[in-house]
Amino acid sequence: MTPAKGQSQRALAALREMIVTNRLPPGSTHLEAELAEMLGMSRTPVREAAVILAEQGLVEVRPRRGLRVLPLSARDMEEIYAILTELESLAAFEAARARPDAAALAPLRAQTEAMTAALDRGDRRGWAEADDAFHAALVALAGNRRLAGVVATMADQARRARLLTLPLRPAPYASSEDHRRLVEAIARGEAEEARSIHRAHRLSAMETLLGLLAAHGLAAV
């Protein structure tokens, strides 16, 4: 990777993290120069990162007015979760068909236990990070790079709303149990069962999130 490419990738990672953690809140507008100063780099990598973020649906680039962080409506979230549900369920199916060994399944088991441990100590952010890592590991296990790329883009869009609603929801211990059941189905090579478990898991997560947005009057996040 060239130094210039490396700078662009660093700008992309930093800006994406600021967006999904609400440091750059939805609806806010930022000039390239402002963001470049914030990141301690020139405007060129910021501009290149903004183009990618726009392609991923996180920002709108407006000539001479900088970039605007796009808010997501409840309808947007419903669409995003519909895509995540189907693609991750396909990943679960393909992972089970591949019959991964214990070493390949170890990251899934480890992140599931990390989720429970985080909830036990009252660390909702830690739970979310372990949950994200579980889903990324699941998709990676399917061995489909294009599927992984689409899922990563959708997951980035959903992450902001998930973090915002984390303090509002009951402790999600059931999510860890869903993950355990999924891992066991994959280990047995039960592809259809794995797909069914994960689809139900994702649909439940969508219903919880949309319910929280409605209950707290959050029309957009």
- pLDDT (mean) for 79-104: 97
User: What count of other Cβ atoms lies within 10 Å of the Cβ of residue 135?
Assistant: 22
DSSP state of 192: H
Q: How far is CA 131 from CA 31, 170, 173, in A?
A: 33, 15, 11
Lowest-confidence region among 29-43, 57-71, 80-94, 130-144: 57-71
What sign does the CA torsion over 176, 181, 186, 191 have? Answer: negative
Q: Residue 160 is part of a domain; what is its CATH number?
A: 1.20.120.530
Instruction: List the domain range (segments joined by +) for residue 64.
Output: 3-69
| Residues 60 and 165 placed together within one structural domain of the fold | no
92 located within any domain: yes
Query: What predicted TM-score, i.e. pTM, was given to this entire model?
Result: 0.85
CA angle, residues 174, 180, 186, in degrees to nearest 5:
140
Q: How confident is the model at residue 72 (pLDDT cuts 50, 70, 90)?
A: confident
| Residues 109 and 194 placed together within one structural domain of the fold | yes
Beta-strand relationship, 66-69 and 59-62: antiparallel
The tens digit of pLDDT for each residue in 157-194 reads: 888 888 888 888 889 999 999 999 999 999 999 999 99
Helix axes 191-215, 145-165, angle to 10 degrees: 30
Give me the chain's average pLDDT, please.
Answer: 93
| Residues 101 and 160 placed together within one structural domain of the fold | yes
Q: Phi and psi dihedrals of 54, rounded to 5?
A: -65, -40
In angstroms, rounded to a whole number, what is the distance separating the alpha carbons of residues 5 and 129? 27
Q: How confident is the model at residue 4 (pLDDT cuts 50, 70, 90)?
A: low
Q: How confident is the model at residue 22 (pLDDT cuts 50, 70, 90)?
A: confident
The H or E element that residue 20 is part of is helix 3-20
pLDDT at 122 over 70: yes
The tens digit of pLDDT for each residue in 140-152 reads: 999 999 999 999 9
| Residues 197 and 121 placed together within one structural domain of the fold | yes
| Residues 211 and 190 placed together within one structural domain of the fold | yes
Count of domains for the chain: 2
Tokens of 15: 């800006």
| Residues 142 and 209 placed together within one structural domain of the fold | yes
- Using the 3D structure, point to which of 33, 50, 69 is the last residue of a domain: 69
Amino acid present at 184: E
